[in-house]
Structure 1
């Protein structure tokens, strides 16, 4: 039996197995501000609650008894330090919360429900826009110290890719002189510049895949709480109950059957098995992070190894 025969047998075995990665939610009635609640959850092997799917959101709503007007902290928060310049990945705001750029720099940041927001300039004034809008853009060419207007409308990400391919990057606007140079090559139309932010993030750094704002939210706070109706923002200093979440990962064991002629002590065979297992898991919808390794049973021969994720 060769390596191919082993792979076919392995795929048949995996086709009947399942994988489970989920979160366990716990509600705490004690009154804490957002940072205190975050610390409490982390001290107990978790974090403030994260919801990455509709199913998790539905389960999260069921963990506490809701009364009219009751709210709890979850793990989503907004941070001005998320504003980054594309050209060098530096932050717009310092630790003190100021831009340190002077009164000439005027950016009105309104609350936004999306995962990412970007900045455009119109007649010298900066505004936030959904990054998927099709706008003109201004590239910067560092070797020649020039600003290049691109009149073909693009999304912000496409404009960034175009500027990086053809020149240096989307332009920054860190000085009044830079602003004046940008105004020389733009008209009254709307133009992308290289400033954007992922304003809303999960405390445990999970992907922001769903948002459940209700009414006119968000409307001015810097962290997020929710009721069974939906999400709202609030100031981090407010005190309320909170929900912690702990990631629960179930291991998947696979026992291989093979002919005695196959040498599982061969590193190349082991690598082939690991690669095929990983590909099969991905194809069958298992996209969570996982690790594949060999485990040698203490009472069995090497040829009777087990593979375990």
Structure 2
């Protein structure tokens, strides 16, 4: 279908949660461990599959017959401060997967019941490590550290682990276990999506063996899920997000040309659901605003999407998107703010901004 910059086809584009396609799935027949499958997906596409709703499940079921497939839901150990646990120093046969909070003993880490009571070490910005010789459960210790210092202590590398071990040994004559800030978080998606959709099979997750921290889409169950350990090998499903932020500073026309040459088009935001997708990716931008596929026609006196649709859903910031643009000599195009409320604003099309491309129709 032919498209021009200034004369849009006046089409109504109705989009709901049930029919908006925000990502494409790619079924990979090769069997891999979960960690290897995740790495493959991140190199080739976006990540292991995230599932937002039953429509995604239906789409995935097209790939499932009599095989199990890795998807991106997992549990993992992380620090109370929110940082990922890139360095780990577990003791023998640890973690056993039965518990959710970590303590240190003789320099090694163990998982334990969060309700157990141990002494602990806090981190303070000015004082560094702070030894608290008072037994509390993990949550109470975390709260104490946050109220009086920064947080329970985190360990980023082997050197810090050795320093912490010496610090504890100098003050802990009893050899008692000591809480650190490591804990196993609840189920989350590999791509950090905030989707709360879950579709567990009856009796799942059951954490058999204490180390089932990963998820497969089960065969012959209408797409239900099961938890499983990461050392098994299965085919898997990757997903490719519909939207991508391009961190190049281009004019609106240059951004449009780039998207059409390298992807599909500058993004059209035709529903509140697509606006949420834009809000999710625009955080990656390096400019204060990011180009959308939104253009003002001086001839018709309307805003339109370059994909050919009239603007029915709107998310303008106050004072933007009015007909006053009709009186301005400069050509105006639409952008979304990368901070704040991430509403739309009108900018001269010569401004140099990052932009969002759609990867597929």
Instruction: Indicate the TM-score class for this superposition, using the shorter chain for normalisation.
Output: 0.5 to 0.7
- 2:228 aligned residue (230, 233, 247): 233
After superposition, the Cα gap between the structure-2 partners of 1:91 and 1:24, relative to the gap in structure 1 and judged at 3 Å, is closer
Aligned equivalents of 2:230 and 2:84: distance in 1? 27
Aligned equivalents of 1:62 and 1:77: distance in 2? 20
Q: Which residue of 1 aligns with 2:194?
A: 207
Q: How many residues align?
A: 242
1:175-254 matched pairs, under 5 angstroms: 175=162, 176-181=165-170, 183-184=172-173, 192-198=179-185, 202-207=189-194, 209=196, 212=200, 214=204, 216-217=206-207, 219=209, 220=211, 224-227=215-218, 228=221, 229-235=224-230, 238=233, 240-248=234-242, 251-253=268-270
Aligned equivalents of 2:227 and 2:21: distance in 1? 24
Q: Which runs of 5+ in 1 are unaligned?
A: 1-16, 94-98, 255-280
1:119 to partner: Cα distance? 1.5
Give the superposed CA RMSD.
Answer: 5.1
Preserved CA contact (<8 Å) 1:48 1:75: yes
Q: Which runs of 5+ in 2 are unaligned?
A: 1-13, 156-160, 244-266, 283-289, 302-323, 327-331, 336-343, 345-361
Task: Provide the secondary structure at the position in 1 that maps to 2:63.
Answer: coil
1:71 to partner: Cα distance? 0.9
Preserved CA contact (<8 Å) 1:84 1:195: yes
1:230 to partner: Cα distance? 2.0
Does 2:64 align with 1:73? no
Task: Provide the secondary structure at the position in 2 that maps to 1:162.
Answer: helix
After superposition, the Cα gap between the structure-2 partners of 1:134 and 1:288, relative to the gap in structure 1 and judged at 3 Å, is farther
Task: Provide the secondary structure at the position in 1 that maps to 2:228.
Answer: strand
1:94-243 matched pairs, under 5 angstroms: 99=89, 108-111=94-97, 117-120=100-103, 127-129=110-112, 133=115, 138-140=120-122, 143=127, 146-150=130-134, 155=139, 159-171=141-153, 174-175=161-162, 176-181=165-170, 183-184=172-173, 192-198=179-185, 202-207=189-194, 209=196, 212=200, 214=204, 216-217=206-207, 219=209, 220=211, 224-227=215-218, 228=221, 229-235=224-230, 238=233, 240-243=234-237
Residue by residue over 1:190-249, the C-alpha shift from the partner in whole angstroms, topping out at 9 and shown as x without a partner, is 8643223448653323237455373643544675432134223244572x3322323346
Task: Provide the secondary structure at the position in 1 that maps to 2:54.
Answer: helix
Q: Which residue of 2 aligns with 1:276?
A: none
Aligned equivalents of 1:57 and 1:296: distance in 2? 32
Q: Which residue of 2 aligns with 1:28?
A: 27
